[in-house]
Amino acid sequence: MARLRIKDILNTAPTEQTITVKGWVRTFRNNSFIALNDGSTNNNLQVVVDFNNTPETILKRITTGAALSVTGTLIPSLGKGQTVEVKASSVEILGDSDAEKYPLQPKKHSLEFLREIAHLRFRTNTFGAVFRVRNTLAHAIHTFFQERGFVYMHTPIITSSDAEGAGEMFRVTSFDIANPPKDEKGNVDYSQDFFGKSTNLTVSGQLEGELAAMAFSDIYTFGPTFRAENSNTARHLAEFWMIEPEMAFCDLNDNMNVAEEMLQYVIKIALDKNLEDIQFLSQRLEEEEKQKPQNERSELNLLDKLKFCLENKFERVTYTQAIEILRESNHNKKKKFQYLVDKWGVDLQSEHERYLVEKHFKKPVILIDYPKEIKSFYMRQNDDGKTVAAMDILFPGIGEIVGGSQREERLDKLEVRMKEIGIPVEELSWYLDTRRFGSCPHAGFGLGFERLVLFVTGMTNIRDVIPFPRTPKNCEF
């Protein structure tokens, strides 16, 4: 008999029909009641075993973590918290789980402990909810772009360009690193390496994305990205997933509109498809926040925060305005920032971003027109000679979630800027060809997927929204 998923069973009218269900035991009470879960939902299916007619040898093997196949009849449930249950006629043990040794006991475990057993944490309510939401968001991102005619482009993971400057890179080599070939000067001779040159894992697919946008008009990437930055924060991973749309015939305003529309679209889909999971995560967060002092707790719960994001336009502010707000803030005057904001031109730290979003505007903020010195070479220069057409989207609890810009499409200006900051123009000749042949105004952005998942799930550490996090000194599983 075909297996039914627990999510569907829980929505089926019970008419004593015979069904088969398979899953893992969460708990087994009184030798009678199994809470069975198959990952389709956080809600368990109650299976009632007739212990008088079930062999002792089977009963003993129904332990937390064991995999079962159950056939029985679906009946209305008299118990609290469920409308249906299965009266088992047969219970087959597919895989035993030694209750003494099983690391996931039916009790509350800390997120830190669960990170150490990340291979099993999928089986908890919290991570069940997180990764179902993550799945929905990934699908919704594709749907958003596909519905709008964007072409999904696979940009390379191994690259030889080291000019983007987005972060420290991981080297890719097939050399015996204890004994690499050297040239006459004693330097490592990469011309003898696998690709005949030095290569790295990509920090961004943007430059290649721009090439494709100059043919398809609208493209997006959605792939893994690597940064060897040694920042052990709750918002940085060494391996993360990034979504990078790139759009021809598009300026900074259009760019902001697409990013805002996309974020609202995917959040709405997650609320529609995973409401139960998000409600569960909202409660989890409230519990977690009870540990914090009153003034550090968020004013809105997760559910309300997500709805709030859907109902309000993001605040659009220039970098210059933001610096004024920060400089004049009581926070700055009372020296509550670790990095004080004293002059125009400084880079914003995440404490500043969060102040603007959480304390000042109390909604998502798009900061535009940053000083050119603190942004990348490819961003379009504004007429003031000081700023570039950049945009960062800042979210409550997260800080920067999106970084983007209108790109510099004017060859002369781009080359001058590259020379100014010492980027080898010849090495990026392929990139500059887009400006030589049919250049046009274009723009794009990068959305860090895990930061989005953090926001929608209300988790507080980025290590808890990717299945197997890679961070400094940590690459388990």
CB of 423 to ligand ATP, least distance (A): 16
- CB of 121 or CB of 227, closer to ligand ATP: 227
Taking contact as CB under 6 A, which single stretch among the options 246-254, 269-277, 364-372, 444-452 is the one that binds ligand ATP?
444-452
Map the footprint of ligand ATP across residues 398-427, applying CB under 6 A. Answer: 400-403
What is the rounded distance in angstroms from the CA atom of residue 53 to the CA atom of residue 43?
A: 27
- CB of 70 or CB of 452, closer to ligand ATP: 452
Map the footprint of ligand ATP across residues 118-177, applying CB under 6 A. Answer: 166-167
CB of 41 to ligand ATP, least distance (A): 29
Can you tell me which of 85, 277, 409, 450 binds ligand ATP, judged by CB under 6 A? 450
CB of 392 to ligand ATP, least distance (A): 7
Can you tell me which of 209, 448, 458, 469 binds ligand ATP, judged by CB under 6 A? 448
Q: What sign results for the dihedral spanned by CA atoms 21, 22, 23, 29?
A: positive
Map the footprint of ligand ATP across residues 342-381, applying CB under 6 A. Answer: none
What is the rounded distance in angstroms from the CA atom of residue 49 to the CA atom of residue 75?
A: 13
- CB of 227 or CB of 442, closer to ligand ATP: 227
CB of 206 to ligand ATP, least distance (A): 9
* Residue 237 found at the interface with ligand ATP (CB under 6 A): yes
**Listed residue (201, 156, 195) closest to 175, CA to CA:** 195
- CB of 128 or CB of 446, closer to ligand ATP: 446
Taking contact as CB under 6 A, which single stretch among the options 80-88, 124-132, 207-215, 446-454 is the one that binds ligand ATP?
446-454
CB of 453 to ligand ATP, least distance (A): 10
Taking contact as CB under 6 A, which single stretch among the options 150-158, 216-224, 416-424, 442-450 is the one that binds ligand ATP?
442-450
CB of 348 to ligand ATP, least distance (A): 9
Taking contact as CB under 6 A, which single stretch among the options 10-18, 31-39, 280-288, 395-403 is the one that binds ligand ATP?
395-403
- CB of 26 or CB of 451, closer to ligand ATP: 451
Taking contact as CB under 6 A, which single stretch among the options 76-84, 127-135, 229-237, 252-260 is the one that binds ligand ATP?
229-237
Q: 448 - beta bridge partners? A: 242
Q: 84 - beta bridge partners? A: 76
- CB of 76 or CB of 224, closer to ligand ATP: 224
- CB of 278 or CB of 348, closer to ligand ATP: 348
CB of 244 to ligand ATP, least distance (A): 8
CB of 66 to ligand ATP, least distance (A): 37
Map the footprint of ligand ATP across residues 166-185, applying CB under 6 A. Answer: 166-167
- Three-state SS letters, the chain: CCEECHHHHCCCCCCCCEEEEEEEEEEEECCCEEEEECCCCCCCEEEECCHHHCCHHHHCCCCCCCEEEEEEEEEECCCCCCCEEEEEEEEEEEECCCCCCCCCCCCCCCHHHHHHCCCCHHHCHHHHHHHHHHHHHHHHHHHHHHHCCCEECCCCCEECCCCCCCCCCCEECCCCCCCCCECCCCCECHHHCCCCCCEEECCCCHHHHHHHHHHHCEEEEEEEEECCCCCCCCCCCCEEEEEEEEEECCCHHHHHHHHHHHHHHHHHHHHHHCHHHHHHHHHHHHHHHCCCCHHHCCCCCHHHHHHHHHHCCCEEEEHHHHHHHHHHCHHHHCCCCCCCCCCCCCCCCHHHHHHHHHHHHCCCEEEEEEEHHHCCCCECECCCCCEEEEEEEEECCCEEEEEEEEECCCHHHHHHHHHHCCCCCCCCHHHHHHHHCCCCCEEEEEEEHHHHHHHHHCCCCHHHCCCCCCECCECCC
Q: At CB < 8 A and 24+ separation, what contacts does 467-470 make?
A: 467/118, 467/122, 467/131, 468/118, 469/115, 469/118, 469/237, 470/237, 470/238, 470/239
CB of 449 to ligand ATP, least distance (A): 8
CB of 304 to ligand ATP, least distance (A): 23
Of all residues in the shown chain, the one whose CB is closest to ligand ATP is: 448
CB of 410 to ligand ATP, least distance (A): 22
Contacts to ligand ATP by CB under 6 A:
166-167, 227, 229, 236-237, 240, 242, 400-403, 446, 448, 450-451
